[in-house]
Copies of this chain bind each other. A is one copy, B any other.
Amino acid sequence: MREVAIIGVGMTRFGELWDQGIRDMFAEAALKAMADANVDKIDSLYVGCMSSGLYTYQEHIASVMTDYMGQRGIPAARVESACASGSVAIRSAFMEVASGMSDIVMAGGVEKMWDIEDGTFVLATASDQEYEAYTGVTFPGLYAMMARAYMHQYGLTREELAQVPIKNHKHSVHNPNAQYPFEMDMKTVLTSSMVADPLRLMDCSPITDGAAAVILCPMEMAKQFVKNPVKIKAIGAATGPIALHDHKDLTRLDAVRLAGERAYKMAGLKPSDISFAEVHDCFSIAEIIVAEELGFFDYGKGGKAIANGEATYGGKIVINSSGGLKAKGHPVGATGVAQVIEAVEQLRGTAGKRQVENAKYGMTQNMGGSGGSSVVHILEAQ
């Protein structure tokens, strides 16, 4: 298996992009990534996207994108695993390069979510349609059940839970691509609209338009293109129960644990080797459970540790330096790719005021549904 590097990254601003359609956003991110990698031609394309069909009535989007980015003719496919679609696109691109099938492969992600009224209905198609969505449960409701169970089981307070989005919004202030780059205090979280008890509006990642793209090539070729390649040291992917009622413990996300274990094993690393992580904080409770499943904190200790500053600069590990899904935004298919872009910027040392010092290894963790799937990447500075 050939070693694989990331040589270029590009993304749109995340937010309400009323003047850009899905193909415009993707082309912008793709062309930025190609410019960053100093290539004018790619050999293959993967596009992570959860639901361009329901959001924009456009399937077959990988072909649309090759056309609109000026690369007509190359192989291209869309890859989907709900909110983890961006990461599975990178995993597919990784294997295409690792296998020797192609050299310069783009993995991108995109979602155009603001053009329809009922974005939450579309998101619910990532849950179990027959047993969850059909009965009226939506994702805020599913994660609210997880939050309630965790608070009960481990004594986490509502105020401690609020420290997750407060931290992530603080980080986002220095991210020029973030949808909501502002600081937020405890009162703002605790008085925001109730969405699904105990989760309030400021516990929930937003509806976002956006696109992101990275370019992979064999490690041995990387320095031909750029001075600062970043190595994809390991990828772990896993599935879990599609329905929340099939979790043996509502405070656990088995797919995340499995994906993390597989990534650590492939990399030959352990949690304490990781300097920073971009994790899937679709709701405040998610970041806490994920941080535990990845081994950064013991079960039941993650919530209080994050509230005590252990997941920000100066703590044990920096989690979501980008602002996370909550503050940076969550254009579903683009999220996993944008996480990797944050990791690349950190490992290149170009993250500006968000820079994590002396980072050798960074991790990203992306998740579909209520743990139906998860992908973990470990990246290494060169």
In the bound assembly, the distance between CA atoms of A21 and B372 in angstroms comes to 19
**Beta-carbon contact of A242 and B57 below 8 Å:** no
**Interface 0/1 of A38-70, CB less than 8 Å to B:** 000000100000110110111110111011000
* A73 touching B258 in the complex, CB below 8 Å, given contacts A59-B82, A125-B59, A373-B62: yes
**Beta-carbon contact of A238 and B81 below 8 Å:** no
**Beta-carbon contact of B98 and A368 below 8 Å:** no
Return the chain B residue nearest A124 by Cβ.
Answer: B57
**Beta-carbon contact of A67 and B130 below 8 Å:** no
**Beta-carbon contact of A242 and B78 below 8 Å:** no
In the bound assembly, the distance between CA atoms of A258 and B71 in angstroms comes to 14
Interface of A is mostly: mixed
Contacts of A54 in B (CB 8 A): 53-54, 57, 59
Q: Identify which of A100, A133, A368, A372 gathers the most chain B CB atoms within 10 Å of its CB.
A: A372
In the bound assembly, the distance between CA atoms of A368 and B128 in angstroms comes to 28
Return the chain B residue nearest A54 by Cβ.
Answer: B53
**Interface 0/1 of A226-252, CB less than 8 Å to B:** 000000000001111111001000000
* A75 touching B238 in the complex, CB below 8 Å, given contacts A54-B53, A95-B95: yes
A101 at the interface (CB under 8 A from B): yes
Restricting to A82-102, which residues have a CB under 8 Å from any CB of B?
Answer: 82, 88, 91-92, 95-96, 98-101
A369 at the interface (CB under 8 A from B): yes
**Beta-carbon contact of B125 and A76 below 8 Å:** no
* A239 touching B125 in the complex, CB below 8 Å, given contacts A60-B372, A98-B101: no
In the bound assembly, the distance between CA atoms of A59 and B84 in angstroms comes to 12
A-side interface residues, number (CB < 8 Å) = 63
Complex copy number for this chain: 2
Restricting to A310-353, which residues have a CB under 8 Å from any CB of B?
Answer: none
Q: How far is the CB of A257 from chain B (nearest CB, A)?
A: 10
A20 at the interface (CB under 8 A from B): no
A194 at the interface (CB under 8 A from B): no
A193 at the interface (CB under 8 A from B): no
A126 at the interface (CB under 8 A from B): yes
* A73 touching B254 in the complex, CB below 8 Å, given contacts A59-B125, A81-B63, A82-B63: yes
**Beta-carbon contact of B50 and A1 below 8 Å:** no
Contacts of A242 in B (CB 8 A): 60, 63-64, 67
Return the chain B residue nearest A258 by Cβ.
Answer: B73
A120 at the interface (CB under 8 A from B): no
**Beta-carbon contact of B58 and A125 below 8 Å:** yes
Q: Which 7 A-B pairs have the closest CB atoms?
A: A99-B99, A75-B237, A63-B372, A60-B82, A58-B129, A77-B88, A78-B80
- 23 A-B residue pairs with Cβ-Cβ distance under 8 Å, sorted by A, are A1-B99, A21-B130, A50-B59, A51-B53, A51-B59, A60-B242, A60-B368, A62-B81, A62-B239, A63-B372, A64-B242, A67-B243, A73-B238, A73-B258, A75-B239, A75-B375, A77-B79, A77-B80, A77-B88, A78-B80, A95-B96, A98-B101, A99-B99
